[in-house]
Amino acid sequence: MLTALGGSLIIAFVAGGLTLGLRSLGGLLTPPRTTAPERVPFLGGLGPETHAWSRFHVRYYAMALLFLAFDMEMVFMYPWAVVFLREGMKAMVEMLMFIVILTLGILYAWRERALRWS
Amino acid sequence: MAGARVEVVLGQRPGILKRLAAMAPVRVFAISGSESAEIETLIADLELEQEIVLTDSPRSANVLLAMGEFPGSMQESARRIHDQLCGPRRTLWLRQNVSAPSEAIFPKAIREDTHCDLALLLRKIHRDLLTGVEPSEEPILPDEEPALWRGVGPYGQGGTGMTGGVPYGRPMPETAPDRDGLALDQLSVRVGPFFRPFPSGLTLALKLQGDVIQEAAVAENPFDAKKLNPDFESGDPFIRALSEPVPVVEMEMARARHHLHWLCNALQVHGLGALGLRTRAIARSLSPGMIAPIAQLRKILRYSRSVSLVGAGVGVIQPDKIRDRGLGPVARAAGLREDLRMTDPAYQELGFEPVVHAENDVRSRLWQRLDEAMQSVTLAARSGNATSGGGGRVEGPRGVITLDGNSLPLLLGLLPDLLYGLEWGDAVATVVSLDLDLRDVRSQRVS
C-alpha cells in the first residue's frame, strides 16, 4: 500500500523530471545567444542614442472615440432586432430616427475634420 | 564494401532540412561604398534575378554583399550591419581591384572583383552556408553594451526616470513641445549611412515625436573628393561631355536609363515592388526610340490608385529657393523652365523643349522623370550623329554638372527645412524624390 511519503516522493520525482525535461527542451529550442551589436535595432548601421521608450501623441484618438460611439450603436440594434417583428412599423421608424441622428453626428464630425489622419 | 561506401557518401550529405533551406531564394543585404557606376549596374541586374532577394534590412538576410571601398567613418557601420545579419551569415566583398591593399573591415569575407558572375557566386555562397559546407562568420564587433544598466540601489534597482538608472548607457528621450503645445518625449535618432531607401553614405540626425520629424540635420558627407576613384567618372557620358563632344544618343540613353532606375527605386520605396522591377527590366533593355514599354508603364502608373496617392502635396520646395540653381528635374518639376539643352545648338536642331510639371511635390518629381525618360528615348532616336558637350557645363540627369561642381550641396542644404514636420514615410519619399548621390563629390574640389 502506498504510504503518504511514497506518494509525495513520486510527485516530487515526476515534478522534478518534468521541470528538468522542459528546461532541457527550452535550451534546445532557444536561439543562440546574441551579442550586444546584434541586439540593437537596425538604423542603417548606426546604434541607438536614446532608449526607445517614449511617450508620443496618439493622434488617432478622435477617430478611436468615434469608432467606439458608433460601435455602441450596433449594441442597441440587437434588442431592437428581437422586438422588430412584434412592434412593426413603430420600431422601424424609431430605429430610422436613431440612425438619422447618428448619421448627422458622422457628417458633423466629417465637417469638423475629425476623420482626417493628423 | 559498396554498401559501406554508399553509407559514407550518405553520411556526408546534409540533412533534408538543410538541403531544403539551401533551395530557398538567396536573401542579400547590399551595402555600397565609393565605387559607383559599375556597382549600380550590378545591383540593378541582381534585382532581376529570380532566386535572389535584396532585402531592406540585414535582419532578414544572411548574405552581406559589400561593394567598393568604405571611407573610415562608414566602416564601423558596415561592421555593425554585418553583425546584424540573420545567422548563419557570410559576406561577399566586391572591389574593382581585389588585389589592392585594403583595411580589414570584413576579416572573413570572400573577396572578388566586380567582373565575377555575381548571381552565380551568391547562390553558391548561400548553398554552401546553408548546407554547412562553409561555416557562419562570427560577429566582428565586441560583445559590449555601451554601459551597464544599473540604478542607484545595491541590486541595480531604483534611480530617476521611467526605468530607474540609465538603460545600457542610453538616456531616456528628452521632452519638448509638440505641434499641439503638449510637452512630449522627443526621440533622437540617427539613420544611415546604409539605410536602403537613402543614397549610400547619407546620415540624417533626427528628432522625432511619434513618427513626426521635429528637427533634421544632415551629417557630413563621408566620401572624400581627394579619394574619389577615377573610374567613378570614366564611364559617365555626362562627365566626358564636360571636356569633349559626346554623341547625343549616348547621353540621352544614359539619361533615360538613369531616370528609369530612379523610378524603380522610388516605386519600391512606395511598396510597389513589382512595378519597380518592371521598370528595371525596361531600363535594362532600353534602346533608342523604344517608347512603347515606357508609354505602357506610364499608362499603368496613371491608372494606378496607389501611384496617384504617392507623395501628393509632400516635399514641396519653394521655387524661389531653387530658381537658376541648376537642379534639373527637381526644378522642372517645380514649374521652372530651366534646362541647358535649350541653348545647345545640337538640341535646338532637334526642336528640344523641356518637360515641365507644376505641382512641385514628390509625385510631380516622379512624373517629371518618367516623362523625361520618354523624351530622352525619342531624342536619342532622332539625333543621328549629332554631338554635344565640351563647354565645361552639361545638363546631367540630376541637374547641371560643371567641372568642379554639381547640385548635391544645394539639395543637401534643402533637406532640414524640407523634412521638418513630415511623417517618417513622407520624409523617406521626399529624400528619394531628390535623387541624391553622395559619392558624386566633385563639388568638394572647389574648397
Contacts of A32 in chain B (CB under 8 A): 87
- The candidate with the shortest Cα–Cα distance to B78, out of B88, B208, B68, is B68
Average pLDDT over residues A95-117: 86
- ipTM score assigned to the predicted complex: 0.83
Q: How many angstroms separate the CA atoms of B147 and B417, rounded?
A: 35
Is residue A44 a contact partner of residue B77, using CB atoms and an 8 Å limit? yes
A116: confidence class by pLDDT, cuts 50, 70, 90: confident
**B83 → closest Cβ in A37, A50, A51:** A37
The verdict on B163 touching A (C-beta cutoff 8 Å) is yes
Hey, of B80, B145, B214, which one would you mutate to test binding to chain A, going by the most A CBs within 10 A of its CB? B80
Q: What is the pLDDT at residue A53?
A: 76
- Among candidates A35, A42, A48 on the partner chain, residue whose Cβ is nearest the Cβ of B139: A35
Inter-chain contacts counted by CB atoms under 8 A, chains A and B: 105
User: CB of B194 within 8 Å of any CB in chain A?
Assistant: yes
Of residues B340 and A115, which shows the higher confidence score? Answer: B340
Query: Is the pLDDT at A25 greater than 70, yes or no?
Result: yes
User: pLDDT tens for residues A28-56?
Assistant: 888 778 888 888 889 999 988 887 777 77
- CB contact under 8 Å between B198 and A56, yes or no, is no
Q: Which residues of chain A have a CB within 8 Å of the CB of B189?
A: 43, 48-50
| Minimum Cα–Cα distance from B77: chain A residue | A45
Q: What is the pLDDT of residue B353?
A: 95
Q: Does B184 touch chain A (CB under 8 A)?
A: yes
> What pLDDT, on a 0 to 100 scale, did the predictor assign at position B4?
39
What is d(CA B197, CA A30) in angstroms, rounded to the nearest whole number?
Answer: 33
> What's the CA gap between B116 and B113, in Å, rounded?
6
The CA distance from B342 to B353, in Å, is: 7
Instruction: Please check whether residue B401 is in contact with residue B393, taking contact to mean a CB–CB distance below 8 angstroms.
Output: yes
CA distance B353 to chain A (A): 40
- Cα gap B423→B209, rounded to integer Å: 9
Q: Do A46 and B58 touch (CB under 8 A)?
A: no
Which residue positions in chain B have pLDDT lower than 70? 1-12, 35-37, 98, 101, 147-153, 155-169, 225-234, 441-447
Q: Alpha-carbon distance B78 to B193, whole Å?
A: 9
The pLDDT of residue B263: 95
Here the cell at position B207 is 528628432
Chain B residues 47-66 within an 8 A CB cutoff of chain A: 57-59
> Quick check: A37 contacting B, CB < 8 Å?
yes
Task: Tell me the DSSP string of B359-388.
Answer: S-SHHHHHHHHHHHHHHHHHHHHH-TT-EE
Cα–Cα distance for residue pair B444/A117, rounded to 1 Å: 42
Tell me the C-alpha distance between B305 and B278, whole Å: 18
- C-alpha distance from residue A95 to each of A66, A75, A82, B124 (Å): 20, 13, 13, 69
- One-letter amino acid at B305 equals R
Tell me if A59 and B210 make a contact (CB, 8 A cut-off).
Answer: yes
Model confidence pLDDT, tens digit, residues B319-372? 898 998 889 999 999 999 999 999 999 999 999 999 999 989 999 999 999 999
Nearest to B143 among A35, A44, A52 (CB): A35
Interface test with B, best of A33, A56, A117 (most B CBs within 10 A): A56
Contact list in B for residue A117 (CB cut-off 8 A) is none
